[in-house]
Structure 1
Amino acid sequence: MANKQGSLIRAFTLAVAVASAGTAAQAEDAWPTRQITFVIPFGTGGSVDRSMRLVAERMQEKLSVPIRVVNQKGGGGHVGTTYFLNQPTNGSFFLATAIHPYISNAILEFDPDYSLEDFAFVNGQWTDVDLFAVNKDLSFQTLEEFMQAVADEPGRYRVSVVTGSTGEINIQLALEAYGLPADAVNVVTYEGGGTARTAVAGGQVDMTVISASGSLPIAEFIRPLAVASNDRLDDWDAPTLNETLVDRGVSLTPLVGSMRGIAASATFATEHPEEFNRFVAAYEAVLQDDEFVAQLREQNIGADWLGPERTTEIVLSNFEVLKRFSAED
């Protein structure tokens, strides 16, 4: 696996190496000459949809062509990802998604015809951690209280997660750490963060385990109980998972949350490296635009620039972690 990872990273490094400062200012007749499509493999209203639509709007100014956005939800991103891979590989389609963990989870769960090597990861723009939060009208003030209620009445409480998300794993890790079986709660899966959050805000479920930053718009409707990270978050008054477990004498390593960003077809990157690098340069440029970054921050959306090589390293590394969980299942 190490050799495969190394070759994939080297391929992306080679593609990016030929980029120059003038890549994004090629002649008017150079790529792209027609509309580009961003495929979002989730429903509307979630954090991926909101962030990628804003990026599309700004990137079309850099690339001087319209960028349309289509949502192809289903299977925790698998349906939309398959749809994307069946489109032309000439740079007219890009996958705007949570590149971790959904692509990896689909590979591990569905055994599809694609692998990580079919993607050229451009950038992981916004990496989040999971928040454990309950509807504000419930009485629970701590995760310990919620888990005790689950232990007293197994099967009563409902928890919303997004299909194929780290939330699915982190709720199971938390249950295990509290000495509870996987079926002690009813895990309700949704195809997008928007609907999963609406469910807990509206009381259709009791708790959600979902990206923390993406949940700020519903902060008034929920009560945070814990965050799945090593450190507390500035935006949420909640302990880390391991802080909630101190009295039990156990600890866990939560899975890092969603990394939202863009991937191209690996075929496009290898066969059209100059065009791929123009897209890379355009994406980097919009995330270095102070006005646009401020707009994203106002909406609690991340604006990191990791670039193809570092993004690929992270995706490959986390794939190995997810594979271990998959083997345990």
Structure 2
Amino acid sequence: MKNRMTQVIAGATFAVGVAVATGPAFAQDADWPTSQINLVVTFGPGGSADRTARALAPELQEELGVPVNVINQDGGGGHVGFTYFTNMPADGSHFLLTSLNPYLANAIQDFDADYSLSDFAFINTQWNDSDVFAVNADTPYETLSGFMEAAKENPGELRVSVVPGSTGEINIKLAMEAFDVPSDAINIVTYESGGAARTAVAGGQVDMTVISADGTIPIAEQVRPLAVASTAPLPDWEAPTLNTVLQENDLETVPVLLGSMRGMAAHAEFKEDHPDLYERMVETYRTILEDEEFVASLETQDIGAEWLGPEETTKIIEENAEVLERFSGPDS
């Protein structure tokens, strides 16, 4: 595996050398962009990140007046693509348009990467997965606080299904910490797929699941949502956010640990050297996501169209990275 990864990264590095040698040099800031812009996707064609990039590319092309190309650089859970991007010129010719979270933070930790979060200037994430805390509809629990109190009163009796290594597994642990529920008071049962974890709660094998909300919609009638791990309530679920629940119970809030966050980032150097151009890309992206016709077309493709903006996107990714690092150890 290590040799294979070395070969893949070596191939990406070769591609970097070719691109640097042949890529266009941009003129003065006022003229930007003068040539093709490349959107780097760190996963293969056909996936959610790729579909997001290919939906956005023609809109960017129309707004900026230059060709916009999508480049797939997959491998290593995104590491190959992130390596490729950081070796590209920081002149506004390349932007990341991919699943940024949790893959960037995981790649930095797992591969001892030569890049860090500070090498990226995050612009926005438009398609963000959030976890739902959902109990079997036949259970008596109406609130998350009630579920946690029951866990304290009857330690070891309640069961929660998650997928190992998922944000759902970490979100239930964060909630337990916030409610001061002992780690052994709830049985966290792992399933190798989201489908299996959902089937378990729908069938009553477990009391609750913490898992991607979008994927749980098909069993909505068989479960009761108690909370969502998101920055705001989700349209498909009548449930408060986890932090709203915590605030209502006079408890400290926790980082909003989202699932896959698909969106755009620039080189940090590009933002530092060309702040006006960076802001132009920010405003261009925002304008596109304010186009009702375009947003409607995204909805028909089940692609998100949120606007968090640079500050909120950066805050969430940095907070998530800290949480992911804390729970990455074998004894987490």
TM-score of the superposed pair, with normalisation by structure 1: 0.61
For 1:42 and 1:253, locate their aligned partners in 2 and report how far apart those are by CA, in whole Å: 36
Report the counterpart of residue 124 of structure 1 in structure 2: 125
Report the counterpart of residue 172 of structure 2 in structure 1: 171
1:159 aligns with 2:162: yes
CA contact (8 A) 1:39 1:69 kept: yes
Matches within 5 A, 1:58-69: 58-63=59-64, 64-68=66-70
Report the counterpart of residue 284 of structure 1 in structure 2: 286
For 1:309 and 1:56, locate their aligned partners in 2 and report how far apart those are by CA, in whole Å: 23
AA aligned opposite 1:290: E
CA contact (8 A) 2:40 2:94 kept: yes
Matches within 5 A, 1:50-129: 50-63=51-64, 64-68=66-70, 70=72, 72=74, 74-75=76-77, 77-78=78-79, 80-87=81-88, 89=90, 91-107=92-108, 111-126=112-127, 129=130
For 2:234 and 2:228, locate their aligned partners in 1 and report how far apart those are by CA, in whole Å: 8
Cα pair distance change 1:300/1:280, threshold 3 Å: closer
Residues 182-211 of structure 1: CA deviation (Å, up to 9, x unaligned)? 99324457xxxxxx5444456699665345
For 1:323 and 1:56, locate their aligned partners in 2 and report how far apart those are by CA, in whole Å: 33
User: Shift of the alpha carbon at 1:226?
Assistant: 2.7
User: Shift of the alpha carbon at 1:304?
Assistant: 1.2
User: Shift of the alpha carbon at 1:39?
Assistant: 1.2
AA aligned opposite 2:292: D
AA aligned opposite 1:171: I
1:265 to 243, 264, 267: 267
Cα pair distance change 1:231/1:99, threshold 3 Å: closer
* Aligned-residue identity in percent: 41
Cα pair distance change 1:257/1:316, threshold 3 Å: closer
1:184 aligns with 2:187: yes
User: Shift of the alpha carbon at 1:323?
Assistant: 6.3
For 2:103 and 2:198, locate their aligned partners in 1 and report how far apart those are by CA, in whole Å: 24
Largest Rg, 1 or 2: 2
1:31 to 31, 35, 38: 35
User: Shift of the alpha carbon at 1:312?
Assistant: 3.9
User: Shift of the alpha carbon at 1:236?
Assistant: 0.9
Residues 261-300 of structure 1: CA deviation (Å, up to 9, x unaligned)? 2112234445666765554443233123221133345647
User: Shift of the alpha carbon at 1:171?
Assistant: 1.8
For 1:294 and 1:180, locate their aligned partners in 2 and report how far apart those are by CA, in whole Å: 44
For 1:202 and 1:80, locate their aligned partners in 2 and report how far apart those are by CA, in whole Å: 34
For 1:51 and 1:152, locate their aligned partners in 2 and report how far apart those are by CA, in whole Å: 42
How many residues get paired?
Answer: 288
TM-score of the superposed pair, with normalisation by structure 2: 0.61
Cα pair distance change 1:145/1:266, threshold 3 Å: closer
User: Shift of the alpha carbon at 1:117?
Assistant: 1.9
User: Shift of the alpha carbon at 1:116?
Assistant: 1.8
Q: Which runs of 5+ in 1 are unaligned?
A: 1-17, 190-195
AA aligned opposite 1:255: P
